[in-house]
Amino acid sequence: MKVTDHIALAKDTLISFEILPPLKGKSIQSIYDHLDPLMEFKPSWINVTYHRSETMFKKKGDGTFEKVEVRKRPGTVGIVAAIMNHYQVDAVPHFICGGFNMRETEDALIDLNFLGVDNVLALRGDAAKNETFFEPEPGGHRYAIDLLKQIMRLNDGLYLDDDIRDGGKTKFCAGVAGYPEKHFEAPNLEIDLQHLKDKVDAGAGYIMTQMFFDNQKFYNFVEACRNAGINVPIIPGLKPITNKKQLSILPRIFHVDIPTELSNEIMKCKTDADCELVGTEWLIQQSKELKQFGVPVLHYYTLGKPKVIWNAVKELI
Ligand code: FAD
């Protein structure tokens, strides 16, 4: 079922989770072990992130280095199909522009359609590790909106090969990313919001946000979206802080602020277990307030911490 249909039919705030594909060499069982306890909360869907390959330098026997492409977390389509089959729950693959040309994207979308997957989160992806700025693949997309438009064209039965007539129409519900604290490359929030509105006008069914730790930033973002004429559901993405290093890592990678009250409490912690307790309490408080605000869904980035997420979500039901 489409994410937008889940939301339209909901009688209460929905719950959804996000996972990373397993590291290469690990089995699908590692995903089930991660998800099993969380399924008790009857999530409406599970998101699966996408990770492009990295260029690395591998030392050879003669002491010289060889440039190699390493894909640490392969796949998304297979994991999504496995999750849907194993748990009878919807799964949402993240699709990115980076590293794909349009033909590869189309082939992957056709596979998803054959597997009965109704949802995709359409993203640009970040610059590859060896690049300063995002560079599209030759024959690929520069912005998420271009990927989204390709998905919408397929929904209209329009394939890249123009000799395909009366092509089967897919029925993907596509979500897009939004940034309560602005995407780091956008010159200001207004321009970022205009690009977000363009994605919604191009057919995005909902917005899923970057993580944030100050709910006021989310409330302001929702208000700014509504004022800009963006009327689709906005789903908050939530993540707990679980160690001190994240106080500098999260702002650096995700360009988000950590409120002083939270950073002060984390700084006082002596162990990671103490940090987890503080992070869990903060997450519970954030979730309760967002629920009261009337968000359609609470979406949790589980990222290797299913127990912390379990402890938080059990306080909500
Ligand atoms: P876009 O919407 O293309 O925007 C990128 C930037 O370009 C923004 O600054 C925007 O304002 C600007 N822009 C957009 N359109 C135009 C235009 N026409 N002209 C000029 N500027 C424009 N990354 C992964 O690699 N894998 C994942 O699984 C993944 N999951 C994510 C899930 C969520 C909920 C979020 C919020 C992010 C996720 N990301 C993921 C990270 C995402 O790929 C990066 O944040 C990326 O830098 C931007 O992606 P986007 O889809 O927002 O891009």
The answer to whether the CB of 254 is under 6 A from ligand 1 is: no
Instruction: Look at residue 99 in the predicted model and tell me its pLDDT.
Output: 93
Binding site membership of 96 for ligand 1 (Cβ less than 6 Å): yes
Report the mean per-residue pLDDT for the chain: 96
Residues 39-50: pLDDT tens digits? 999 999 999 999
Distance from the CA of 177 to the center of ligand 1, in angstroms? Answer: 6
% the chain with pLDDT above 70:
100
Q: Indicate whether residue 186 lines ligand 1 (CB < 6 A).
A: yes
Average pLDDT over residues 272-289: 97
pLDDT tens sequence across 86-145: 999 999 999 999 999 999 999 999 999 999 999 999 999 999 888 899 999 999 999 999
Owner of token pair 């277990």: 273
**Token pair for 10:** 């909901």
Residues 6+ apart with CB under 8 A from 12: none
For tokens 């989160």, the residue is: 121
Most informative mutation of 18, 50, 71, 124 for ligand 1 (most atoms within 8 A of CB) = 124
pLDDT band at 53 (very low <50, low <70, confident <90, very high): confident
CATH number for the domain including 207? 3.20.20.220
Say how many C-beta atoms besides its own lie within 10 A of residue 193's C-beta.
Answer: 21
86 Cα: distance to centroid of ligand 1 (angstroms): 30
CA nearest 55: which of 131, 137, 141? 131
| Band of pLDDT at residue 74, cut at 50, 70 and 90 | confident
192 CB less than 6 Å from ligand 1?
A: yes
Q: Could you tell me the residue range of the domain that residue 82 belongs to?
A: 3-313
Q: Please state the pTM of the whole predicted model.
A: 0.96
Whether the CB-CB separation of 296 and 10 falls below 8 Å is answered with yes
In a mutational test of the pocket of ligand 1, which residue from 17, 50, 123, 199 has the highest number of ligand atoms less than 8 Å from its CB? Answer: 123
Q: What is residue 57's predicted lDDT score, i.e. its pLDDT?
A: 83
What's the rounded Cα separation, in Å, for the pair 219 and 7?
19
Rounded distance from Cα 120 to ligand 1 centre (Å): 14
Q: How many structural domains are present in the chain?
A: 1
Q: With a 6 A CB cut-off, is 123 part of the ligand 1 pocket?
A: yes
Give yes or no for residue 143 CB within 6 A of ligand 1.
yes
Name the one residue in this structure whose structure tokens are 């909902």.
Answer: 206
Band of pLDDT at residue 253, cut at 50, 70 and 90: very high
pLDDT over threshold 90, residue 272: yes
Q: What percent of the chain has pLDDT over 90?
A: 89
Helix (H, G, I), strand (E, B) or coil at 34: helix
- Whether 165 shows a pLDDT value over 90: the answer reads no
What would the mean pLDDT of 262-288 be, rounded to a whole number?
97
Distances (CA, A) of 13 to 19, 105, 192, 299: 20, 33, 27, 10
Q: Residue with the nearest Cα to atom 41 of ligand 1? A: 125
pLDDT value of position 122:
98
pLDDT of 25 reads: 93
